[in-house]
Amino acid sequence: MELIHNLAVGFGVALTPANLFFALAGALIGTLIGVLPGIGPIATIAMLLPLTFHLEPTSGLIMLAGIFYGAQYGGSTTAILVNLPGETSSVVTCIDGHQMARQGRAGAALAVAALGSFFAGCVSTSLIATFAPPLAKVGQSFGAPEYFSLMVLGLIAAVVLAHGSVIKAIAMIVLGLLVGLVGTDGNTGGTRFTFGITELTDGIDIATLAIGVFGVGEIITNLAQPQETRGLAAKKITRLWPTREDFRRAWPAVLRGTALGSVLGVLPGGGATLSAFAAYALEKRSSRSPAEFGHGAVEGVAGPESANNAGAQTSFIPMLTLGIPGNAVMALMIGALTIHGIQPGPQIMSERPSMFWGMIASMWIGNLMLVIINLPLIGMWVQLLKLPYRFLYLAILLFCGIGVYTVSNSAAAVLLAAFFGVLGYVFTRLECEPAPMILGFVLGPLMEENLRRAMRISSGDPAIFIERPISLGLLIAALTLCVLVALPAIRSKREEAFQE
């Protein structure tokens, strides 16, 4: 009963004209950047963070969330039609989706992807509504030592489950933690790493860092690559509705993909990309005719597409209930909350129920909008692919500049963002993923605060982290993950999982 009451509150908030507008705006922007290669949801959300500063916090979050799940829809459209994954989460959709398109079944593939995503969106939204409250209760019972250990586990898990070198990713986290400490120490009043620059005494704004590393860094990376040719014209889509046979084969894949994506999304580092890759592997292995995969198997579209949407949505759970970001997008969401002076954590649900439930209700509405709007608009989105990157990057560059300036009203922040842009480019070139850095940056001050509190509880004895059972369990889990990933057998499996 409480659930129904909560959802009623949520829909009351989400159905106001302003919030409907922002859900739609977010979903459309998300689809747009999902379609366009060269700009992803992280960079977009970073650029729009300053904008949310001028909105109601609820409306801002609704829009940012819309961008995130909208990008999953948009990414699959170009993957199917022109064999270009707009997002990393739709890389696997290319394999069978584009084959279907070449066989003249583009409409069916698009419809299966959209309907599968919508189904997954509905299921995962209700999962959030069901499991978030009890999880937040658990979170509220945590003391400082438990919280510290939970953050350690979250950070470790985030890099173990992501791709690339684990040791470099951990180094990037530590770097992010250090950048997060720049400014004035709230406890002692001393300044740290400010290089004598007045603007740095307040610390570095998350928007400045994220826009620099992801927005500007991405522009440089893209421009440094030789121009690709994307002259592939899409064939005319003749029939949109899948055949009865398609339906029969797709729906079990949708169910499996949704289940897998929902579980993987909750894990730190999970989210959309991992879910999609895992779902494709699952479909291929459980299929009675694996030879069909790669030649237009409808399951190869239905499974991953459902999984990436489910994973994108359930990755909100740890962020909303515990204040722990599982991926870079969630770190930016936390940034959006802190811009409004809202402390992320388990208390959000009880202190701001209308914001919490409004956002959840809006996710469902946004998913519905995406299905209704996007299927008829597919032709228009594909036309947008013809927009060359040399125009696109100028617009992105400008929005980066104005965005950074407006959030801090300081010219120094723009210069700082430019510096982070170069840094982001250098790291990308050296195969150091910048995403873990933003996780560390967001959690840095929180971890220090909880470490200090824990030490005060134990009068300076670090053994408190292993004396408290919950904290010990969390640390053991983190350690186990580290050991597992170092084992050669697991390591090769892990690399294989991201190849395919």
Partner 1 sequence: MSLPEERTNLPDPYWRMFVRKDVLAGLLFIAVAVLGLWISRDYPIGTALRMGTGYVPRLLCWLLLGLGAVVLVQGLREAQGARALSSADVLALRPVVFVTASLVVFGLSIERLGLVVSILLLIGVGAVAARGLRPIETLAAALVLTVLSWGIFIVGLGLTIPVWPEW
List interacting residues with partner 1 (CB under 8 A): 51, 54, 165, 167-168, 170-171, 174-175, 177-178, 181, 185, 187-188, 190-193, 195, 216, 219-220, 223-227, 389-391, 393-395, 397-398, 400-402, 405-406, 411-415, 417-419, 421-422, 425-427, 429-432, 448, 451-452, 455-456, 459-462
Interatomic CA distance for residues 329 and 268, integer angstroms: 12
CA distances from 354 to 52, 79, 345, 467 (A): 18, 37, 16, 38
φ, ψ dihedrals at 191, nearest 5°: -95, 150
Please say which residue, 8 or 398, places its beta carbon nearer to partner 1: 398
CB of 265 to partner 1, least distance (A): 28
Interatomic CA distance for residues 384 and 381, integer angstroms: 5
Could you write out the three-class secondary structure of 30-48? HHHHHHCCCCCHHHHHHHH
CB of 401 to partner 1, least distance (A): 4
Q: Which residues pair with 184 in a beta bridge?
A: 191
CB of 330 to partner 1, least distance (A): 22
Nearest to 129 by CA among 340, 446, 360: 360
CB of 352 to partner 1, least distance (A): 24
Nearest to 106 by CA among 303, 382, 311: 382
CB of 457 to partner 1, least distance (A): 10
Please say which residue, 165 or 383, places its beta carbon nearer to partner 1: 165
CA distances from 410 to 117, 208, 395, 413 (A): 42, 11, 21, 6
Please say which residue, 8 or 483, places its beta carbon nearer to partner 1: 483
CA angle 373, 243, 254 (to 5 degrees): 65
CB of 379 to partner 1, least distance (A): 23
Q: Are 335 and 206 in contact (CB under 8 A)?
A: yes
Give the pair of three-digit tokens for residue 483.
């050991």
Please say which residue, 352 or 453, places its beta carbon nearer to partner 1: 453
CB of 446 to partner 1, least distance (A): 12
Classify burial at 126, counting beta carbons within 10 Å of its beta carbon; exposed 0-12, middle 13-18, buried 19 or more: middle
Please say which residue, 371 or 451, places its beta carbon nearer to partner 1: 451
Please say which residue, 185 or 351, places its beta carbon nearer to partner 1: 185
Give the pair of three-digit tokens for residue 239.
């029939």
Please say which residue, 394 or 487, places its beta carbon nearer to partner 1: 394
Please say which residue, 69 or 389, places its beta carbon nearer to partner 1: 389
CB of 203 to partner 1, least distance (A): 13
